[in-house]
């Protein structure tokens, strides 16, 4: 059926990997190959590919119950890619792992992304930033954002930092075309500065640079603000 055909193209790793702790890694993966109805003549090649991709070659004869959480996640990933899916769905794949295991699983996911489209679900926004190149944010069942990560993280705000306090800067910035708001700030090392918000999604930096050059301001830094995914999420949540 059409549904069955779609299922053969999808790999899935839920938050709690569907493992049988009493089985060895090799026995478990062979069982999954049978359940996936992978032809016998193709099974060894598929098993070898999944084992190599997930770094399980040294754990094949170990019972799953004796594996660390990180290696159990690897076994879960191996079963999910055994049938070479076009779409791989991962639900909180790094939950409960220690920092070293998180980095290992993150690198593994990035390698798997070379051959499959990966849908990665997580509440840990730093993990999303580290792994994903496109982000979808859903709140209360509604789609709030769908964009490439670099598009979400790039703000239309410009950050201007000066070497020293300079008269007339605020008023001159307000007079620039396309500016909607000016917010004074201090850099981390104490220098005076301004956040300049645009009326629309345009880059104000070229206009500010020209103004600063003509006015002979002591510019220390001029850049577009970069937002974290957490700040984007919080902004969307506040607007709810």
Report the CATH number that the domain containing residue 165 is assigned in CATH.
3.30.70.2070
Residue 203 is predicted with a pLDDT of 87
Task: Give the E-state strand segments of 6-150 in sequence order.
Answer: 10-13, 87-91, 117-121, 134-139, 142-148
Tell me which DSSP letter residue 17 carries: -
Same domain, 18 and 117: yes
Same domain, 111 and 168: no
138 domain-assigned: no
106 domain-assigned: yes
Among 67, 101, 132, the domain-final residue is 132
124 is written with which tokens?
């840990």
Residue 38: give its domain's CATH number. 3.40.50.300
Residue 38's Cβ-side half-sphere holds a number of Cα atoms within 13 Å equal to 21
Same domain, 179 and 91: no
Same domain, 7 and 64: yes
Number of domains in the chain: 2
144 domain-assigned: no
Same domain, 38 and 110: yes
- Phi, psi (deg, nearest 5) at residue 110: -65, -35
Residue 65 is predicted with a pLDDT of 97
Residue 62 is predicted with a pLDDT of 97
147 domain-assigned: no
Each residue's pLDDT expressed in tens, for the chain with a length of 240 residues: 688 888 889 999 998 888 999 999 999 999 999 999 999 999 999 999 999 989 999 999 999 999 999 999 999 999 999 999 999 999 998 888 888 888 988 998 898 898 889 999 998 888 899 999 999 999 989 999 999 988 887 777 899 999 999 999 999 999 999 999 999 999 999 999 999 998 877 889 999 999 999 999 999 999 988 788 888 888 788 776
Q: Which residues contact 150 (CB under 8 A, 6 or more apart)?
A: none
185 domain-assigned: yes
Instruction: Give the Cα separation of 225 and 202 in Å (integer).
Output: 12
Q: Look up tokens 């990933």; give the residue.
A: 77
Among 132, 166, 181, the domain-final residue is 132
Same domain, 19 and 91: yes
Same domain, 123 and 7: yes
For the chain, give me the number of helices (H) and strands (E)? 10, 9
pTM for the whole thing? 0.72
Among 75, 97, 132, the domain-final residue is 132
Residue 66 is predicted with a pLDDT of 97
Same domain, 190 and 103: no
184 domain-assigned: yes
Please work out, in degrees rounded to the nearest 5, the angle formed at the alpha carbon of residue 131 by the alpha carbons of 144 and 100: 130
Contact 163, 219 (CB under 8 A): yes
Residue 171 is predicted with a pLDDT of 95
156 is written with which tokens?
């239309």
Measured from the Cβ of residue 28, the count of other Cβ atoms closer than 10 Å reads 21
Same domain, 72 and 112: yes
Same domain, 6 and 69: yes
* Domain, as residue range, for 124: 2-132
Same domain, 23 and 123: yes
Indicate the angle between helix axes 25-35 and 69-81, nearest 10 degrees. 30
Residue 3 is predicted with a pLDDT of 85
2 is written with which tokens?
């059409």
User: Which residue in 97, 75, 78, 100 sits closest to 88, CA to CA?
Assistant: 78
148 domain-assigned: no
Same domain, 17 and 59: yes
155 is written with which tokens?
């703000």
139 domain-assigned: no
């Amino acid at each position: 059926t059409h549904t069955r055909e779609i299922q053969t193209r999808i790999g899935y790793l839920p938050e709690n990997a569907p493992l049988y702790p009493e089985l060895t890694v090799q026995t478990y993966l062979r069982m999954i190959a049978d359940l996936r109805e992978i032809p016998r003549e193709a099974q060894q090649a598929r098993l070898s590919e999944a084992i190599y991709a997930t770094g399980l070659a040294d754990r094949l004869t170990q019972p799953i119950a004796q594996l660390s959480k990180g290696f159990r996640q690897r076994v879960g990933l191996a079963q999910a890619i055994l049938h070479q899916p076009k779409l791989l769905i991962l639900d909180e794949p790094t939950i409960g792992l220690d920092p070293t295991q998180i980095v290992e699983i993150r690198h593994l996911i990035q390698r798997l992304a070379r051959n499959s489209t990966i849908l990665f679900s997580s509440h840990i926004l730093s993990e999303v930033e580290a792994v994903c190149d496109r982000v979808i944010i859903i709140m209360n069942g509604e789609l709030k954002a769908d964009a490439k990560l670099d598009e979400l993280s790039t703000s239309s705000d410009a950050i201007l930092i000066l070497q020293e306090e300079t008269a007339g800067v605020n008023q001159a910035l307000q007079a620039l075309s396309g500016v909607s708001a000016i917010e004074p700030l201090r850099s981390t090392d104490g220098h005076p500065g301004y956040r300049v918000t645009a009326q629309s999604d345009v880059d104000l930096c070229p206009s500010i640079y020209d103004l600063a050059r003509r006015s002979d301001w002591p510019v220390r830094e001029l850049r577009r603000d970069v937002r974290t995914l957490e700040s984007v999420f919080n902004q969307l949540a506040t607007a709810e």
